[in-house]
Every structure is written in C-alpha cells, then in structure tokens.
Chain A
C-alpha cells in the first residue's frame, strides 16, 4: 500500500517535471530570449553558416552589452542543418521541443520550404537568411516566414537593370547557370527583363551545368565554341553559379581564356569569398548579391564593419550581414511588441522600421524587405595583399528592383 502510494507520488512528480522542463530549461524564460540559428555549419558550405553565426553573435553581444531587449538578454542556440532539408526539419523540431519558437538562418531555399509547414504548424517564426526563392513570398507564402536577403527575382532584376545601365554596348548575353528549376527560371527572368529594358539585346547560348559537377570542361567548351570572333566586345556572360561551381568554371575556363571572350561578366548570387578563394586567378566579375561592406555609408554599417573586423579579423560578407541584420530586425520587433509571442512578433515585423547596415528598411505585406541590391566588381590582382581587389561598387535602389 505504501509502495503503491509512493509510486503514484513519484509518477506525479516525474510528469510535472517533464511538463515544465521546457519552461525551466530551453524555453523563453523571463530573463533570456533564445533564438534558434539553423544553418549549415559543416560540409562544403560550412563557411555560409559560420559567417552567418558570426554576424548574428556579434549583434547578440552588442545588444546584450547595451542592456538587452525589453529587459531580456538574447541567446543563440545553434543547430547544424548540413544543407539538408531533412536535417533542417529535425533541427526545427529539436528547437520546438526545447521551447524555442524564434528561428533564423536556413542556408538554402529547399531548407526553408521544408521547414515552413512544420514552423507554421507549431507557430514558430522563420527568418530566412539565404532562402532566396521568390515562391516563399508568393505562391508558398506563409505569415511565419520573413526574408532578410533579396529574392532571386530581385537579384536577377537588379542584374538586368545594371546590365542595361552599365553595358549598353553589349548586344548579346550568354548564360552559364546551374541545371535546376531556379537556374532556368532566373535566366529566363533576367533575359526577359533585360529585353524589356533594351529591346535590341538578344539572349545567346545558355549552358546549364549539373549542380554537383566538378569536371565541367565539356560545358566550358560548349559555351566557348559558340562565341563569335568579336564576342569580347559584343557578348556578356550571365553567370549564376556560386562557390565550388564558380571555382571549377574559372579554373577550367582558363586554358580557353573563357572570361576574356566576354565584354563583361555578371555573377548573380556569387560573392566575395569566391574571389578570395581564387585570388589572382579570379577574372573580372561583377557580383550581384545582398551586401558589400564598402557599399553603404550608414553609421550602423561603419560600426558593424569595424566591430566585425575587430572580432573576426576580416571584413563582413553577405552572410555575416544577414546574421547581423536578422538579430537587429528581431530586436526591433521585440521592442515594439514588448513580447516574444510569435503572433505579436509577426505583426511587429510587418509594422516596424528595421535598422540594418544597408539603411532603415521595411517589410512589405509579402514579408519581403524593400531593399537595395548590391553590385560590386572583384578581380584577381597578384600584387594585392589578398591577391584580388574589389575596386567598384554600387547599390541598385529598391524602387528599381522588382519584387
């Protein structure tokens, strides 16, 4: 009898402990706001998640040093999603079990698309850094998703605008892009937008390369052999690969002088780390992406760049910026909402001006940030300290970037 009563009491204590454990351990306690950073910390693209984490942690440290937000400290809880949608959903569920309802990061659109239904079901916030698929704010829209980076339509629109303004003498644009749906769609959008701006411009040869291809010599030949003798004056290259795929085409294109056969190369979605990787081998390329540390003269950007260089020994890149901007967006929302309830944060994000190094930005009803797109030139330079330089940059204003 006594043993049975003891068993009942112990069961009740156990059940009570389990039910309140999230509130005591991982959940949004009174003193701390936990933010789940789900990003690719391992594998070929580990740099993406690591730089995002660096930018986010810098912002967290700054905010905490200034007294926190709404009387609470911020804390990052980092999960590795390995650039894998299955691992992303697993990480999301782990955070949900621990009571963390605010999440950020997500290295790819596939990860965001996998996470969003789960987040919506469990009333969790998803702040996507690198999820640039336009569908996330259109056909797949869900109120729990907010995007930090420009969408792929915004990037290709900005690229077309830049090509029209800067390279009016180029009559034909050829393409070297990844062979998947987004790669094809983005090229189609770029060429249509450019023809709308410059009706005489033609779409030339388009070569689509498998995402994981390392030996791309055949694809380089297919592009190079299609060019006329005067292509260095009349043809431009729309390059949509990034990371290792760009490294492969640059290296394997050298014997053909591939990039020398174009008057200009615009790389949509590429960024400075690729120039850093290839150094003196890097051709003259205009990147069209989210952020370049010298392109914005705001006080917050100057502070961000200085603090990041001091903390990590290098200038911030797009991924660092996205991590940093996301934390400041969340701070602004928590400040306004005076709450970490996801519904209130969603309303606050929709209404609050967001302070970022690119300026004060606002979310539209589609949860897309109206923002400038950054275009900057990088090229190899054996005499430079890092064997490359980025001598020119500009920002395509938000009103010229279609959403």
Chain B
C-alpha cells in the first residue's frame, strides 16, 4: 500500500521550486512581450553567485538566505545592464527575433560560466539547519521545503500586491496593456521595463540560488530547468503569476505521483501535462483567449 502523503510532500516541494524559477519568466513576458530564453542563463548566474559568495561552505541558515538574496540582487544588476544594452533593441522586433536573440545570450552565459567558474563541477553545500525535517503528525516535510513554501508564498503575495495594489503596479499594467498609450499618458515606459525586467531577473537569480544546494553546479544548469519553466509558463497562461503557480504545483505533483505509482510514465509527465492542457485550454490555465501577454497577478 503506497503512502500517498510522501508524493504530496515531494510534489509540493518540486512545484514551489519550479514556480520560483518560472515566475520571473512569465513576469518579463507579461510586461515586455519578450520570450526570454536567456532566463536560464540568469538562473545559472544566481546559482554560481551563491557559490562564490558562500565560498562553497556550509553556512548557517540565515547566512545562506542572505547570500541567496544577494546573489539574486547581483543577477538583477547583470539583468539591468543587459536590458539597457540588448533587450531594449529587441522590444520593437517580432517575437521570433527576441527568441533568437535571447537564445544567443543564453549561449554567451554558458560560455561565460565556463570561463569564470571553470569546467569542473562545483557544489554548494546545504545549510545544516535545512537538512532536518518538520513532523506534522504522520507527515514529515524536509525543512528546506518548508522554507521554499515560505519563499514561494512571499513571491506570490508580493507580486500580487505590487501589481494590483500599488501605483507602480497600475503603471505596469497600463504599460503591459498598451505601451504606446501608456507613453502618451506620461508613463516612463523605459523605466517600467527596466524595473520589471530587473525584478524578473532577480527572481531568476533567486531561483538559481535556492536550487544551488540541491544540485551540482555546471554551466549547463542554464538549460537544465528552462524547458520545464517554459512549459509551466505556457500551461499557466503567459503573463499570469497565479497561473504559473498552479501549473508549477500541478507538474510537481504529477511527477511525484507518477514516480510513486507509475514510474514508467514519470519521464513523460511534462509532456502529458502540456498535451492535456493545451488540448483543453490552449490559452493556459489563467490566460485569456485572444492576444496573449497581458500581465495579471
């Protein structure tokens, strides 16, 4: 008899991590209509920045968390410079051009990763405090997963508050809906783009930092999670934060339960999920039918 609480715990943990990785991707598309293939490269940078700042040492939890946030901010800085230097030129172009341009940037990041951190795989140890487990009755949850739930919740509610409840968020929504009209109304569209792009890249770097204690670090980390991130963003609905969260949790749980109950199908969980959703609801879970890309929390 299978213990069905185990895949639930694993699936939620996987799902939250996938959401953190994909949230920045959907945010950038929602505002700027740019399919940022280099998102994986920023994710990789966040992981490597974490390793460098922590010097590859096992640190107390508060120190590791602070370093992960710092790595996210560093990545955002790189993102801001990239936005100024490259992405700005991609906005007026067709989406295929932004896809190709950002893919080229992804390859550049991979090469930079090899140049700066070398080809030998690296490892960022986990904080000892996160190696424990939280016991809730018969359910045992890894401490790091509990931390990830908290981060995921903070990101969801933080983005929702920013987009829906603040003056800046109104400007963002207006820019996402119609950038020309927003400019005519006096909104500094370039600053909105820069701010939101940097925020999206901060989330990518944060995701990389949070993943770094769980996997080995190699430059191909840039492409490791990006396919899943794209699938989640599409299934969730381009530009929808809540849709991304629901899709990420769905894929995490689907994979976990298939591994437990039907291991032979687990490899295909991503494609099964995508196939089902795109047949039933091609605009995505929270996407709107018609022109895609409106940002909504």
Which A residues are within 8 Å of any B CB, using their own CB?
Answer: 42-44, 46-47, 50, 179, 207-208, 210, 212, 214-215, 217-219, 221-222, 225, 243-244, 247-248, 251-252, 254-255, 273-274, 276-281
Known contacts A42-B114, A179-B267; decide if A47 and B119 are in contact (CB<8 Å). yes
How far is it, in angstroms, between the C-alpha of A211 and the C-alpha of B162 when the chains are bound? Answer: 39
Apart from A247-B215, A255-B131, A279-B56, what 19 extra A-B contacts exist at CB < 8 Å? Answer: A46-B114, A47-B119, A47-B121, A50-B119, A210-B266, A210-B267, A217-B13, A217-B14, A218-B256, A218-B266, A221-B259, A222-B260, A225-B6, A243-B216, A248-B216, A252-B214, A255-B143, A277-B122, A279-B125
Known contacts A47-B121, A210-B267, A212-B224; decide if A218 and B216 are in contact (CB<8 Å). no
Residues from chain A with a CB closer than 8 A to the CB of B142 are: 255
A281 lies within 8 A of B125 (CB): yes
Min C-beta distance of B238 to chain A, whole Å: 24
> Which residue among A217, A221, A254 has the maximum number of chain B CB atoms within 10 Å of its CB?
A217
**What would 9 A/B residue contacts be, using CB atoms closer than 8 Å?**
A217-B14, A218-B14, A218-B260, A222-B260, A225-B6, A251-B215, A251-B216, A277-B121, A279-B125
Residues from chain A with a CB closer than 8 A to the CB of B3 are: 225
Which of chain B's residues 14-70 have a Cβ closer than 8 Å to chain A? 14, 17, 56, 58
How far is it, in angstroms, between the C-alpha of A314 and the C-alpha of B216 when the chains are bound? Answer: 21
**B160 touches A (CB below 8 Å):** no
A221 lies within 8 A of B219 (CB): no
How far is it, in angstroms, between the C-alpha of A252 and the C-alpha of B10 when the chains are bound? Answer: 11
How far is it, in angstroms, between the C-alpha of A389 and the C-alpha of B229 when the chains are bound? Answer: 38
How far is it, in angstroms, between the C-alpha of A50 and the C-alpha of B119 when the chains are bound? Answer: 9
Min C-beta distance of B31 to chain A, whole Å: 28
Known contacts A44-B218, A210-B267, A255-B144; decide if A217 and B10 are in contact (CB<8 Å). yes
B133 lies within 8 A of A255 (CB): yes
Min C-beta distance of A167 to chain B, whole Å: 27
B7 lies within 8 A of A221 (CB): yes
**B280 touches A (CB below 8 Å):** no
Contact of A278 among B11, B13, B123, B225 (CB under 8 A): B123
Min C-beta distance of B46 to chain A, whole Å: 15
Contact of B219 among A44, A217, A218 (CB under 8 A): A44
How far is it, in angstroms, between the C-alpha of A261 and the C-alpha of B123 when the chains are bound? Answer: 23
A218 lies within 8 A of B123 (CB): no
Output the nearest chain B residue to A281 by Cβ-Cβ distance.
Answer: B125
* List of 9 A-B pairs having minimum Cβ-Cβ separation, nearest first: A247-B216, A46-B119, A218-B259, A44-B220, A255-B142, A218-B256, A44-B218, A244-B216, A277-B121
How far is it, in angstroms, between the C-alpha of A207 and the C-alpha of B264 when the chains are bound? Answer: 10
A218 lies within 8 A of B215 (CB): no
Contact of B259 among A42, A44, A219, A281 (CB under 8 A): A219
How far is it, in angstroms, between the C-alpha of A217 and the C-alpha of B126 when the chains are bound? Answer: 15
Min C-beta distance of B218 to chain A, whole Å: 4
How far is it, in angstroms, between the C-alpha of A255 and the C-alpha of B120 when the chains are bound? Answer: 25
B263 lies within 8 A of A251 (CB): no
A244 lies within 8 A of B267 (CB): no
Output the nearest chain A residue to B121 by Cβ-Cβ distance.
Answer: A277
Min C-beta distance of A19 to chain B, whole Å: 38
Output the nearest chain B residue to A225 by Cβ-Cβ distance.
Answer: B6
- Encode contact with A along B193-213: 1 for CB under 8 Å, 0 otherwise: 000000000000000000101
B121 lies within 8 A of A214 (CB): no
How far is it, in angstroms, between the C-alpha of A281 and the C-alpha of B260 when the chains are bound? Answer: 27
A215 lies within 8 A of B214 (CB): yes
A251 lies within 8 A of B123 (CB): yes
Min C-beta distance of B68 to chain A, whole Å: 16
How far is it, in angstroms, between the C-alpha of A179 and the C-alpha of B267 when the chains are bound? Answer: 9
How far is it, in angstroms, between the C-alpha of A247 and the C-alpha of B51 when the chains are bound? Answer: 15
A244 lies within 8 A of B218 (CB): yes
How far is it, in angstroms, between the C-alpha of A46 and the C-alpha of B121 when the chains are bound? Answer: 10
How far is it, in angstroms, between the C-alpha of A230 and the C-alpha of B192 when the chains are bound? Answer: 60
Residues from chain A with a CB closer than 8 A to the CB of B114 are: 42, 46
Output the nearest chain B residue to A224 by Cβ-Cβ distance.
Answer: B6
Contact of A218 among B218, B220, B255 (CB under 8 A): B255
Output the nearest chain B residue to A277 by Cβ-Cβ distance.
Answer: B121
Known contacts A50-B119, A280-B125; decide if A251 and B214 are in contact (CB<8 Å). yes
B6 lies within 8 A of A221 (CB): yes
Output the nearest chain B residue to A83 by Cβ-Cβ distance.
Answer: B220
A214 lies within 8 A of B131 (CB): no
**B158 touches A (CB below 8 Å):** no
Min C-beta distance of B26 to chain A, whole Å: 19
Contact of B120 among A221, A244, A277, A281 (CB under 8 A): A277
A207 lies within 8 A of B263 (CB): yes
> Which residue among A44, A212, A218, A247 has the maximum number of chain B CB atoms within 10 Å of its CB?
A218
Output the nearest chain A residue to B119 by Cβ-Cβ distance.
Answer: A46
Contact of A244 among B17, B56, B121, B131 (CB under 8 A): B121
Contact of B263 among A208, A215, A279 (CB under 8 A): A208
Residues from chain B with a CB closer than 8 A to the CB of A217 are: 10, 13-14, 256
Output the nearest chain A residue to B6 by Cβ-Cβ distance.
Answer: A221
Residues from chain B with a CB closer than 8 A to the CB of A47 are: 119-121
Contact of A215 among B7, B17, B130 (CB under 8 A): B17
How far is it, in angstroms, between the C-alpha of A276 and the C-alpha of B120 when the chains are bound? Answer: 10
Output the nearest chain A residue to B212 by Cβ-Cβ distance.
Answer: A251
Output the nearest chain A residue to B14 by Cβ-Cβ distance.
Answer: A215
**B132 touches A (CB below 8 Å):** yes
Known contacts A214-B215, A218-B255, A221-B7; decide if A273 and B121 are in contact (CB<8 Å). yes
